[in-house]
Amino acid sequence: MVKTALDISLYVFLAICSLLIIFYIPRLKGWFASFKKQKRLINDKKNNIAVIIPARNESKVIGDLLDCLTRQTYPKEHFGVHVIVKESNDPTIEIAKQTKASVHIASNQTCKGDALDFCLKEILNTNPEQYDAYVIVDADCMLDSKFLEEMNNAMTSGKQVIQAKKIVKNYHIKDKKANSISASCNGLIWTIIDDMGNRYKSDKNITGMTIGTGLMLRSDVVKMLGGWPYRQTLTEDIEFMFDCMVKKISTFYYSYAIMYMEEATSLKVTNKRRRRWLTGVVDSKRIYAKQVKNSATTKEDKRNKYYVLALWPVFYYVGACVFFSIMQFGFSIALFILGESLWIKALLYSIIGVGIIYISFLILTLFCLIIERKNMPISLFRRIILLFVHPVFYMGYIPIIARALFFSNNKGWEVIERIDFKMDNEAQVEPLSDDEGELACLPQD
């Protein structure tokens, strides 16, 4: 009787997992899109571009970004740099003025969304026709020397929102502290979002996942929004993604516009970032669920709805595995206490539940390492370590997701520590384009 119950629970669990995998197959197809080289776009028109940098207390890192902007191949007369701070005595102001960047003091800002809204409204109120597009870049990022040139090229796609490719800059830093396992593991998230997700969505005219750095908005979008209205959660960019679907704002990912992202060097800081992001993802879904449902009236809309909510089948899949494992582990303990030999079988089933999660993430990691191999200047041994450690790292999302789903969350501004290392001036990354040239905009010592 007990054996039959255990077997039935296993079959039900495997059936649920199989159904969720089948449901997720359209999303899995996107993993293969990055193996086909993206079409290169060329734009004869030089659009006027505003580079918007939220930089509250970012004097430690913003210098490298501003240095990258001074060495862009894009004509300087066609772009302007706007730095946003909170305090009038922020050291960032003097650093920005040295590169002739415009400074906006948003003293009432409580989050990144407030800063963006303040800056965009100031520009619109001063001269709404000054810029054709607005690019948001976080202060701790660095840019390829052709970044703005490629973002301008991407505008020939006709799409209203452009997302750049993100590469982990920690790989190009000599100091070993910057290249922790935690930083390497978390950096793979950009491959998953960009090349295994947004690339396919761009090809199929599907609403992409918007990330709030390396994000270009065409001027008509900014005017329609009247600034940046997304600040109800910790992830204003995920709010924007849902609104893009609801308002039918077209999105596009362009792999030739390259930027470098900073990853935290400690697991503690990494988890702080992960908690903030997952909390915002869950809260954004709650806020926009009704609007997303009501806007899905056509076949194309329903397809967009599927993709903007694609994380949720993953949550259910992992949740089913965790629930099954905990249940079987409980059975194992109870059977052991009762002196039943079947406790071993229940324990094995518990391990199977955890094992399915690990193997699923192992396959995901393998795809990431293959796709991002040209942009990861690390040894084969390091890649092997990542292959087997990253699934465990990803399983660390489980308690974070549970907390976001079932407990109240803090929505205040949370300071994230920055690393203080220089990128290797000799770092080489294989170009994604056919032409050779200066790829990385690296800081001078």
Please report the pLDDT score of residue 433 as a whole number: 40
Q: What is the pLDDT of residues 218-249, one digit of tens each?
A: 999 999 999 999 989 889 999 999 999 999 99
Q: Looking at the structure, do residues 233 and 321 belong to the same domain, yes or no?
A: no
**Of 277, 293, 308, which one is at a domain's C-terminal end?**
308
Give the number of domains in the chain. Answer: 2
Domain of residue 224, CATH code = 3.90.550.10
Q: What is the pLDDT of residues 43-77, one digit of tens each?
A: 999 999 999 999 998 888 899 999 999 999 999 99
Taking residues 8-32, report their average pLDDT. Answer: 94
Please report the pLDDT score of residue 427 as a whole number: 44
Q: Name the H helices within 261-379.
A: 267-295, 299-308, 311-337, 343-371
Write out the DSSP string of 11-44: HHHHHHHHHHHHHHHHHHHGGGGGGSPPPP---S
Q: Comparing C-alpha atoms, which of 291, 287, 319 is closest to residue 305?
A: 291
**pLDDT above 70 for 341:** yes
Please report the pLDDT score of residue 439 as a whole number: 42
Please report the pLDDT score of residue 405 as a whole number: 85
Q: What is the pLDDT of residues 170-216, one digit of tens each?
A: 887 767 677 788 888 999 999 999 999 999 999 999 999 999 999 99
421: in domain: no
Please report the pLDDT score of residue 441 as a whole number: 54
Q: Looking at the structure, do residues 303 and 323 belong to the same domain, yes or no?
A: no
Domain range holding 131? 37-308
Q: Looking at the structure, do residues 227 and 92 belong to the same domain, yes or no?
A: yes
Q: Looking at the structure, do residues 302 and 329 belong to the same domain, yes or no?
A: no
Please report the pLDDT score of residue 273 as a whole number: 86
Q: Looking at the structure, do residues 296 and 353 belong to the same domain, yes or no?
A: no
The region of weakest confidence among 3-7, 9-13, 16-20, 138-142 is: 3-7
Sheet strand arrangement including 215-218: 102-105, 79-85, 49-54, 133-136, 215-218, 161-168, 251-261, 142-143
422: in domain: no
Please report the pLDDT score of residue 425 as a whole number: 46
106: in domain: yes
426: in domain: no
31: in domain: no
Q: Looking at the structure, do residues 118 and 181 belong to the same domain, yes or no?
A: yes
Q: Looking at the structure, do residues 252 and 354 belong to the same domain, yes or no?
A: no
Q: Looking at the structure, do residues 229 and 367 belong to the same domain, yes or no?
A: no
CA distance 182 to 372: 17
Q: Looking at the structure, do residues 112 and 235 belong to the same domain, yes or no?
A: yes
Please report the pLDDT score of residue 415 as a whole number: 53
Helical (H) or strand (E) element with 374: none
Q: Looking at the structure, do residues 236 and 276 belong to the same domain, yes or no?
A: yes
The region of weakest confidence among 27-36, 125-134, 415-424 is: 415-424
Please report the pLDDT score of residue 5 as a whole number: 87
**pLDDT above 90 for 167:** yes
440: in domain: no
Please report the pLDDT score of residue 276 as a whole number: 87
263: in domain: yes
Please report the pLDDT score of residue 219 as a whole number: 97
**pLDDT above 70 for 121:** yes
CB 20 within 8 Å of CB 320: yes
Taking residues 110-122, report their average pLDDT. Answer: 94
SS3 of 74-136: CCHHHEEEEEEECCCCCCHHHHHHHCCCEEEECCCCCCHHHHHHHHHHHHHHHCCCCCCEEEE
Taking residues 257-271, report their average pLDDT. Answer: 88
Q: Looking at the structure, do residues 253 and 194 belong to the same domain, yes or no?
A: yes
423: in domain: no
Residue 434: pLDDT band with limits 50, 70, 90: very low
Please report the pLDDT score of residue 308 as a whole number: 93
Taking residues 117-121, report their average pLDDT. Answer: 96
**pLDDT above 80 for 445:** no
Q: What is the pLDDT of residues 381-433, one digit of tens each?
A: 999 999 999 999 999 999 999 988 887 555 555 555 555 555 554 444 443 44
CA distance 248 to 84: 29
Q: Looking at the structure, do residues 96 and 204 belong to the same domain, yes or no?
A: yes
Taking residues 21-48, report their average pLDDT. Answer: 94
**Mean pLDDT, the chain, integer:** 89
Taking residues 301-310, report their average pLDDT. Answer: 93
CA distance 261 to 156: 25
Share of the chain above pLDDT 90, in %: 73
